[in-house]
């Protein structure tokens, strides 16, 4: 089967294999590897894949940056005590209602970063997504090595004062693969002034 060896292919991506790592870090690396493996499996499933028919026929694997502990970051979380629902821009006329749930503060490559996170305020959210927090972003790789429309990371409530975000799990919106989809556009305040060389790269 064409995906039989994906697990082993992804294993070779781990950038810190020569380092001594803790058990907690190993768990984080294994989780990142599994997340990328599951994403490939999803895209190889004709019923779930966002790929066009032409691309699906030749699909073998998404192109990922090497998994790197540097991009598994412990952030300081500050909750937005007075959130105001707003219409998030998308690639179509669709305007889903979100609120800014709070902001993640962290440092990467010597750069101080702030990354707002959002909660979907739709009334008909499926139960399994009730605790879902949406993290869209752009960075210095956007439009070069990664998709020009930005990328997403998913987090789950509850949050503590510190929140771990793993950019190795960053994925492209479906619009990166098929223009029939309507995808959220990362707000201007979610533009990171640093290169996030982790997660999924640009398609093709």
What digits encode the pLDDT tens for the residues 138-147? 999 999 999 9
User: Considering only 71-75, 122-126, 150-154, which range has the smallest mean pLDDT?
Assistant: 122-126
pLDDT surpasses 70 at 48: yes
Band of pLDDT at residue 124, cut at 50, 70 and 90: confident
5 phi and psi, to 5 degrees? -100, 10
pLDDT surpasses 90 at 135: yes
pLDDT surpasses 70 at 1: no
Given a contact cutoff of 8 angstroms between Cβ atoms, the answer to whether 134 and 156 are in contact is: no
| Token pair for 190 | 């979610």
Mean pLDDT of the 185-195 span = 98
Residue with tokens 């800014």: 100
Mean pLDDT of the 178-195 span = 98
> What contacts 97, CB < 8 A, 6 or more positions away?
85, 86, 87, 88, 120, 121, 122
Band of pLDDT at residue 9, cut at 50, 70 and 90: very low
Residue 144 CA to residue 1 CA, distance in Å, equals 32
Q: What is the mean pLDDT of the chain?
A: 91
Mean pLDDT of the 30-34 span = 94
User: pTM for the full model?
Assistant: 0.89
Q: What percent of the chain has pLDDT over 70?
A: 91
Chain Cα centroid distance, residue 200: 8
Band of pLDDT at residue 19, cut at 50, 70 and 90: low
Residue 65 CA to residue 198 CA, distance in Å, equals 5
| Token pair for 27 | 């768990």
Residue with tokens 């007075």: 82
Residue 62 CA to residue 43 CA, distance in Å, equals 8
pLDDT of 7 reads: 42
pLDDT one-digit tens code per residue, 195-204: 999 999 999 8
Mean pLDDT of the 175-180 span = 96
């Amino acid at each position: 089967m064409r995906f039989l060896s994906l697990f082993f292919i992804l294993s070779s991506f781990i950038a810190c294999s020569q380092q001594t790592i803790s058990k907690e870090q190993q768990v984080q690396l294994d989780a990142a590897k599994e997340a990328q493996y599951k994403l490939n499996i999803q895209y190889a499933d004709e019923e779930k894949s966002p790929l066009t028919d032409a691309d699906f026929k030749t699909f073998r694997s998404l192109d990922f940056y090497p998994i790197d502990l540097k991009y598994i970051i412990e952030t300081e979380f500050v909750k937005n005590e007075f959130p105001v629902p707003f219409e998030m821009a998308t690639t179509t006329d669709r305007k889903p209602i979100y609120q800014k749930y709070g902001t993640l503060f962290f440092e990467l490559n010597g750069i101080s970063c702030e990354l707002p996170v959002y909660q979907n305020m739709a009334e008909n959210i499926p139960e399994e997504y009730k605790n879902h927090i949406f993290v869209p972003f752009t960075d210095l790789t956007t439009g070069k090595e990664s998709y020009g429309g930005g990328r997403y990371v998913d987090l789950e409530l509850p949050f503590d004062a510190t929140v771990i975000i793993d950019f190795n799990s960053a994925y492209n919106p479906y619009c990166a693969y098929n223009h029939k989809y309507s995808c959220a556009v990362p707000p201007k305040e979610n533009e990171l002034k640093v290169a996030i060389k982790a997660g999924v790269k640009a398609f093709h």
